[in-house]
Amino acid sequence: MQRPSTTSLYGSRVLLIDDDEDTRDLGAMGLAKHGYQTQTCSSVEEALELLERSNGELGAVVTDLQLGSRSGLEVCEWVTQNRPDTPVILVTGHGSLDAAIGAIRVGVWDFINKPIDLSRLAHSLERALSHSRLKQEVTRLRESVARPAVAAPIVGESRAIRAVLDLVERLHESDVSVLITGESGTGKELVARALHNTSNHAEGPFVAVNCAAMPAALLESELFGHKRGAFTDAREDREGLFVRASGGTIFLDEIGEMPMEMQAKLLRTLQDSRVRPVGSDDEVAFEARVLSATNRDLEDAVEQGTFREDLYYRLNVVHVPVPPLRARDNDVLLLAQHFIEAVVARTGKQVVGLSSQAAQKLIDYHWPGNVRELQNCIERAVALTRFEELTVDDLPPKIRRYQATRLVLDADDVEQMLTLEAVERRYIARVLEATGGNKTHAARVLGLDRRTLYRKLDRLEIGDKD
């Protein structure tokens, strides 16, 4: 996974400026131990000449404050003006308040006292470099969203989302039934629309039905239509949604919630390509492509006997699993930028993007509500912000305060070590989180059969809330 905060900084080039030869040599040697290549020079003139010739290949600059008759602040100033992405660390022998104020004014990243504590310097460099990489990443994403070439409605470039786009592409001009699965808010409906828009009957209607929203009897009349007098409120004949979708696509959303008795009727309908309106003796033919979606684990439902196996296979000719947002690497930033621009276009508010600290928070958070949650978060932040870049303060508290939980497997302190059961419990909960609660998938990852997983969930009292 490529995340800017954890990208290896190993091998970055650092320019070290000091008029004392010993300091230069010791510094270069010490930084080499931390994996940095160092280039050294001894004066402001030399440094500026070198910097002018460099073309962004220098990762960071470390400069002494007093360089003969001139000041390291001149170097700082030049860098912040001409290479704003390159962080500068100022080394001072005097730790004076004036120097500190001057340093902050010209935008240095950090300043440290002499004699140089090399591990402190290496640590500061690491933070500076990962910060500047994140900043560059944000700029890159901002530009790539701004380019109209990304006209595709499904935003993302992670491997996980590319697998989805690839499937959509391969289904171009196809009519097969597709089952779209994924956690709530991952973009299942968006995928359904993309499949429709690239099908042979993109010109035809796209009719979406939420199968969870109504009781069986009502759903039946919605889907299949009814005859006048079929029930009390049926004052006239009504065409069903299957017929209305003819020449296009019918999208059965939340299919996992469909009551058993409706499942049987739906199966027959799909087999015959005909519907029988409620209260009618005659059947009506229709011709519509069937897409369905669910956030439930249908294989599990089949096993539990709450979803018909034959219907499952009928709907699931091709399966498109939509990954949770937390599995999409930096797409979270790309999507955030996409939503910022959408709000800006709508409201005209002057917001250009995210601050790098806010970007880091978005990367760290685990997004249980997926893309929809991100969209809400960005719309809220744009409404609240007083700045051109969204800041951490503009994010909701739970995202601001989120701390990624890690398994404490590398603890050295015996007191902090966990029981085997606690590790098992946390790990299973973590795998379930990563698979979006899909137990079949989780069992596969854990190398267990599903029954064993269920027993463990019971014993370890891991509920859905975990």
Ligand X SMILES: Nc1ncnc2c1ncn2[C@@H]1O[C@H](COP(=O)(O)OP(=O)(O)OP(=O)(O)O)[C@@H](O)[C@H]1O
At 345, give phi and psi (nearest 5°). -65, -35
Stretch that binds Mg ion, among 11-19, 20-28, 188-196, 356-364 (CB under 5 A): 188-196
Stretch that binds ligand X, among 180-188, 379-387, 436-444, 447-455 (CB under 6 A): 180-188
Stretch that binds Mg ion, among 189-197, 268-276, 312-320, 378-386 (CB under 5 A): 189-197
Helices (H), 305-369: 309-315, 331-347, 356-364
Say how far apart CA 307 and CA 244 lie, in whole Å: 26
Task: Choose the one of Mg ion, ligand X, none that binds residue 182, judging by a C-beta under 5 to 8 angstroms depending on kind.
Answer: ligand X
Q: Does 178 bind ligand X (CB under 6 A)?
A: no
Q: Which is nearer to Mg ion, 126 or 189 (CB)?
A: 189
- What's the min distance (Å) between Cβ of 161 and ligand X? 6
Q: Does 389 bind Mg ion (CB under 5 A)?
A: no
Q: Does 230 bind ligand X (CB under 6 A)?
A: no
CB 273 within 8 A of CB 285: yes
- What's the min distance (Å) between Cβ of 253 and ligand X? 6
Tell me how far apart the terminal alpha carbons of the chain are, to the nearest angstrom: 24
Residue nearest to ligand X (CB): 187
Stretch that binds Mg ion, among 19-27, 60-68, 184-192, 210-218 (CB under 5 A): 184-192
Q: Which is nearer to ligand X, 219 or 278 (CB)?
A: 219
Site for Mg ion in 295-334 (CB under 5 A): none
**DSSP string across 131-180:** HHHHHHHHHHHHHHHHSTT---SS---SHHHHHHHHHHHHTTT----EEE
Q: Of 126, 175, 189, 237, which one interacts with Mg ion (CB under 5 A)?
A: 189
Stretch that binds ligand X, among 152-160, 171-179, 306-314, 414-422 (CB under 6 A): 152-160
Pairing label, strands 206-210, 284-285: unpaired
Say how far apart CA 64 and CA 308 lie, in whole Å: 74
Site for ligand X in 334-393 (CB under 6 A): 335, 338, 371-372, 375
Q: Does 256 bind ligand X (CB under 6 A)?
A: no
351: nearest Cα among 85, 142, 144: 142
Q: Position 272: which residue type?
A: D
Neighbours of 26 (CB within 10 A): 15
Contacts of 394 (CB under 8 A, 6+ apart): 358, 380, 381, 382, 384, 385, 387
Contacts of 321 (CB under 8 A, 6+ apart): 164, 180, 181, 182
CB 319 within 8 A of CB 182: no
Q: Which is nearer to ligand X, 73 or 363 (CB)?
A: 363
Q: Does 154 bind ligand X (CB under 6 A)?
A: yes
How many chain residues touch Mg ion (CB under 5 A)?
A: 1
Asked, as a colleague might, if the bond just before 115 is cis with ω within 30 of 0, I would say: yes
Say how far apart CA 361 and CA 374 lie, in whole Å: 12
Q: Position 292: which residue type?
A: S
Q: Does 373 bind Mg ion (CB under 5 A)?
A: no
CB 235 within 8 A of CB 279: no
Q: Which is nearer to ligand X, 191 or 359 (CB)?
A: 191
Q: In the stretch 182-201, what mask flags binding to ligand X with x, by CB under 6 A?
A: x-xxxxxxx-----------
How many chain residues touch ligand X (CB under 6 A)?
A: 17
Pairing label, strands 238-239, 225-226: antiparallel
Q: Which two tokens stand for residue 425?
A: 């419990």
Task: Choose the one of Mg ion, ligand X, none that binds residue 196, judging by a C-beta under 5 to 8 angstroms depending on kind.
Answer: none
Task: Choose the one of ligand X, Mg ion, none that binds residue 328, judging by a C-beta under 5 to 8 angstroms depending on kind.
Answer: none
- What's the min distance (Å) between Cβ of 208 and Mg ion? 8
Task: Choose the one of Mg ion, ligand X, none that binds residue 184, judging by a C-beta under 5 to 8 angstroms depending on kind.
Answer: ligand X
Neighbours of 418 (CB within 10 A): 14
Task: Choose the one of ligand X, Mg ion, none that binds residue 71, judging by a C-beta under 5 to 8 angstroms depending on kind.
Answer: none
Q: Which is nearer to Mg ion, 88 or 211 (CB)?
A: 211
Task: Choose the one of Mg ion, ligand X, none that binds residue 456, judging by a C-beta under 5 to 8 angstroms depending on kind.
Answer: none
Site for ligand X in 273-332 (CB under 6 A): 295
For Mg ion, the binding residues (CB under 5 A) are 189
For ligand X, the binding residues (CB under 6 A) are 154-156, 182, 184-190, 295, 335, 338, 371-372, 375
